[in-house]
Structure 1
């Protein structure tokens, strides 16, 4: 649509108002794209936050994992797991804040989103670095806790949490002792007076090494049966008496556990760094959207 403008000494000339409107429309479309990208990314970000939260809770409450065994005596691990859980909750709340701020185009929410995201980014990167640098200390602590559990096995009937977890570890990883089954043979409380065999926890028994599964099925850990489900063993007063030629797992658990611990630490650090990179991109999008919303509104008001 043409409008007419009167210039000094010149008759009315037509001017075209479509150019600024087209420019405004292009920028508005770009901001709309960024707005919806930010919304979609925050939905994905919400899912990642829930994964971090679940990972932290798993470390705290899962009694059928080796993490629960380590956490019994390693307080920093418990602190890290709580920090992960809290970080996950904050991440989910922040993603919700970003979704609302982007869709409704609230500058105050977008500014709060950016500031909180910056703080969370610094926290998670610091947490990932701390966990990775504590790897050697954690491995040493794991070894100390395992050897102490073996030395005091069945010495305190009222304290069975560590022993139950260790039985589960041996059965799942198909290993016996820390370095080798000899760790159990040296325990005074498990020494057998019978020359025909050794006394070891039933979780060390390798039922697949013999065709006689009846021996294995008679012990007081029916969950360990080859025909039964892989469930957490019950703590029990029974100890398996295995033949002297030993149908038990020959490998110690040290190497398997160190590999397990290494893989899980890599997972934790990887999640923290991956989420941190996403947070960095979200900060860029949010601050760009926040800074340009006012310009669009000013132009809309000017051309109305």
Structure 2
């Protein structure tokens, strides 16, 4: 069966600084009208490198070709924040870690300094392929009557998408941690709690996640965690994403406070000090 995911050949057409830690980049491609409009927390990949490295990756076998390549372009995982099919454009909000040449990774460097018109590949679901609505989506609240979203800055684009697609009759709560006060933004949650890291704050200050005990993982600890909900028929659904150690600590606190394992999803998007594709 053909995967819903495939590479789209795109170019950078615009950038907008959203806040201290976020740059929005706009990508345009001739066939982006076929890009899945699912949004939510659906994962996509940016493939960054010289054209000679991108050209062999334009087919459905892109990943196996990338794995076998002697020289590989960089790959980073993101969530789209907008799909404008008529214009053949998508937006991606990139978290800025460092500056080009001073600690920034390949995607952060591209977002800050790539020339308008620079080429890259976007690996995303194709709306003409079966399964494009579900592939790469971890947000599965089922019939939950209450949704609790917990995350750091890397989860913020997904959280914003989820809150923009609220279901009637469901209560949405969010606890979010960002690097700077300037990163706080308006979101359509019934209850919204922001924690600002530069002020020494963390989502782990907020009940029930403040119940972290000795031995719980801390930010920077452990391998990437990926644990999706199995079946949610009612009650509450917990979705937590971000730095792996932070997510592990949230999971430990949730377990101690009796959160139903089958009604919770925990996704480690990255690990401090490690490279994640």
Regarding TM over 0.5, the answer is no
Q: Give the structure with the larger strand fraction.
A: 2
Q: Give the structure with the larger helix fraction.
A: 1
So what's the TM-score if we normalise by structure 1? Answer: 0.22
